[in-house]
Amino acid sequence: MLIINGTAELMNNSNNLNKGDRYEFNMFSLNMPLEDQLAQIEDYLVTRGWDNIEVANNGIIEDPSEIQHEVLLSAYEKAKSEGYAVTINNQALI
C-alpha cells in the first residue's frame, strides 16, 4: 500500500476547517507507484474540495501492524476496499 504525505489548500467552505488554509494530509493508495497515481490522486483530492496539492513524502506500507494511529489504520483499511483514503490534520499550517 502506498502512503503519501503532503499539504493541500481547502477550496470549499467547511464547518470545521477554514477555506483557503493549507492542511497536512496523509493518503493511502492501493495502486503504485506514486508516479503512475499522481493524476488519480489529484482528482480524488480535488473532488473533495482540495487543491494546490504538494506531495512531501511517500512510501510503502508492507505491514499494517506498523500503523500505530487509529485514524490512519482506519484509512488504510478503507483504501484496501475503495482504492484510496485520505486523512486531514484539522490544524491549519501557519
39-91 pLDDT, tens digit each: 998 999 999 999 999 999 999 999 999 899 999 999 999 999 999 999 999 88
User: Is the predicted pLDDT of residue 94 greater than 80, yes or no?
Assistant: no
Tracing cell 493541500 back to the chain, one arrives at: 8
What pLDDT is attached to residue 93? 86
54-65 exposure pattern, b = at least 16 Cβ within 10 A, e = fewer: ebeebeeeeeee
The pLDDT of residue 70 is 94
| pLDDT for residue 24 is more than 90 | yes
